């Protein structure tokens, strides 16, 4: 029997969120993502009357979800009190867990997606071992939360691959070697708490849209570089999901020579030259040697390139060029306002920067080239925080119900 359960002190807040009207959901989302707002500003932003706003937020205030921003209100510009209100981030807590091959990383965050505690642990490669590992880390996170576990409102888990979030299914994950696994069902049964399953890049995109650089932008893309090259797209106010669950597969755009074969079996994919695995292989095959043996890790390939080894530099140049070309492709097709680059390889971004920007500028079409490319430092916990953001969004948008 699992010790993880929805917190007793989360109950009333969850009941209020679950019963909120569509307008009240909009209002809460606006206050949550944009920070302290006066009722007047909320009314303006949502097109509702101020009376309707007051009525909608009343149960949220009673449940502790919304509080006065400034307990001693000063006069507004015309002498009337402005009365800004804000979400109390401490009112709810969620868990977000990222499954990697051989490892799970978990965080607990507050309602503002701020990380409270984190943990990681090795797991076996089988599906059952992963289910067990996720359950164990959820229990550890709850223990680390102490009294705050009484606010626990939900659990999100993210994995790489083709995920059917609505039904909790992992349809296909090449990285984990899974096909058609009911991860949501297995975890919900193991933990006796509903578990939301989401694609990892989509989860990261939700985190940026609600709690990061994406707030207030009409559209943005997040590009992750590392052992895979991923892309989350946000267009017309929503994450692009794809009619068949596939979207943002920037790693498998055919943007390089057909002579490069990808791990997916296709030719010319971006990942075939720009994933960390492809970089290591290319440097080793071209004779790259570090400490007397062929380069075997990305750290060694990076060190060789930093030392100016022409073979290693050329491999990183090729990776930077194809990533920049891929970003131009995203810009020409969907026209994002901002492109965020993140992922574990961001720490070595200096090796990509010049060729990436040159390729982007060479191929971005007209005004599409005005999109800002923003580098974002990456922590491994970010993926887990994405899963937390996904379940927070699921709670607010009434797609995730904790009981």
Q: Which is nearer to a second copy, 104 or 371 (CB)?
A: 371
Nearer to a second copy, 245 or 294 (CB): 245
Pattern 283-322, a second copy, x by CB under 8 A: ----------------------------------------
Cα–Cα distance list, 1 to 5, 105, 191, 259 (Å):
11, 22, 8, 53
Q: Is 46 in the site for a second copy (CB under 8 A)?
A: no
CA distance 63 to 278: 52
Q: Which of 39, 148, 363, 385 binds a second copy (CB under 8 A)?
A: 363
For the CB of residue 155, give the shortest distance to a second copy in the complex, in Å: 26
**Which among 26-34, 83-91, 132-140, 366-374 is the span making contact with a second copy, rule CB under 8 A?**
366-374
335 binding a second copy? (CB under 8 A): yes
Of the candidate spans 69-77, 142-150, 332-340, 343-351, the one that interacts with a second copy by CB under 8 A turns out to be 332-340
What is d(CA 12, CA 10) in angstroms, rounded to the nearest whole number?
6
Candidate ranges 101-109, 148-156, 365-373, 383-391; the one touching a second copy (CB under 8 A): 365-373
Q: Which of 365, 380, 401, 403 binds a second copy (CB under 8 A)?
A: 365
- Nearer to a second copy by Cβ, of 110 and 317: the residue is 317
Nearer to a second copy, 87 or 225 (CB): 225
Residue closer to a second copy by CB (options 221, 283) is 221
Q: For a second copy, what does the binding mask look like between residues 221 and 260, x meaning CB under 8 A? A: ----------x-x-xxxx-xxxxxxxxxxx-xxxx-----
Q: Which is nearer to a second copy, 264 or 375 (CB)?
A: 264
Q: Please pick, from the candidates 145, 283, 330, 391, the single residue that binds a second copy as defined by CB under 8 A.
A: 330
Interface with a second copy (CB under 8 A), residue from 49, 167, 218, 297: 218
Task: Kindly indicate which of the ranges 86-94, 122-130, 294-302, 328-336 contains the residues binding a second copy, using the contact rule CB under 8 A.
Answer: 328-336
171 binds a second copy (CB under 8 A): yes
Residues that bind a second copy (CB under 8 A): 162, 171-172, 217-219, 231, 233, 235-238, 240-250, 252-255, 264, 266-268, 325, 328-337, 362-363, 365-368, 370-371
């Amino acid at each position: 029997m699992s010790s993880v359960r929805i917190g007793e002190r989360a109950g009333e807040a969850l009941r209020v969120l679950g019963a909120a009207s569509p307008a009240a959901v909009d209002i809460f989302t606006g206050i949550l993502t944009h920070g302290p707002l006066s009722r007047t500003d909320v009314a303006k932003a949502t097109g509702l009357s101020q009376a309707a706003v007051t009525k909608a937020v009343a149960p949220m205030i009673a449940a502790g979800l919304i509080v006065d921003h400034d307990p001693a209100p000063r006069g507004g510009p015309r002498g009337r009190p402005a009365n800004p209100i804000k979400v109390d981030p401490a009112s709810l807590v969620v868990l977000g867990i990222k499954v990697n091959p051989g490892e799970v990383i978990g965080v607990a965050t507050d309602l503002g997606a701020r990380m409270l505690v984190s943990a990681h642990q090795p797991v076996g490669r089988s599906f059952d071992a992963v289910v067990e590992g996720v359950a164990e880390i959820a229990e550890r996170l709850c223990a680390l939360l102490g009294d705050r576990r009484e606010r626990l409102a939900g659990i999100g888990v993210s994995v790489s691959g083709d995920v059917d979030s609505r039904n909790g299914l992992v349809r296909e994950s090449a990285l984990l070697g899974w096909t058609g696994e009911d991860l949501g069902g297995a975890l919900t049964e193991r933990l006796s708490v509903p578990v939301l399953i989401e694609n990892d890049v989509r989860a990261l995109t939700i985190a940026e849209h609600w709690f990061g650089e994406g707030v207030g932008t009409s559209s943005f893309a997040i590009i992750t570089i590392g052992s895979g090259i991923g892309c989350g797209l946000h267009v017309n106010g929503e994450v692009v999901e794809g009619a068949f669950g596939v979207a943002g597969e920037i790693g498998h755009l055919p943007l390089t020579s057909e002579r490069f074969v990808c791990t997916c079996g296709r030719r010319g994919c971006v990942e075939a030259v720009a994933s960390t695995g492809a970089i290591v292989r290319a440097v080793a095959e071209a004779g790259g040697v570090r400490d007397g043996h062929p380069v075997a890790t990305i750290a060694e390939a990076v060190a060789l390139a930093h030392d100016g080894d022409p073979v290693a530099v050329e491999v990183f140049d090729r990776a930077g060029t194809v990533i920049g070309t891929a970003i131009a492709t995203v810009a020409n097709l969907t026209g994002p306002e901002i492109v965020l680059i993140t992922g574990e390889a961001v720490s070595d971004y200096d090796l990509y920067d010049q060729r990436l920007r040159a390729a982007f500028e060479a191929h971005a079409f007209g005004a599409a080239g005005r999109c800002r490319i923003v580098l974002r430092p990456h922590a491994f916990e970010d993926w887990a925080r994405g899963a937390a953001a996904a379940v927070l969004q699921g709670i607010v948008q009434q797609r995730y119900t904790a009981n």
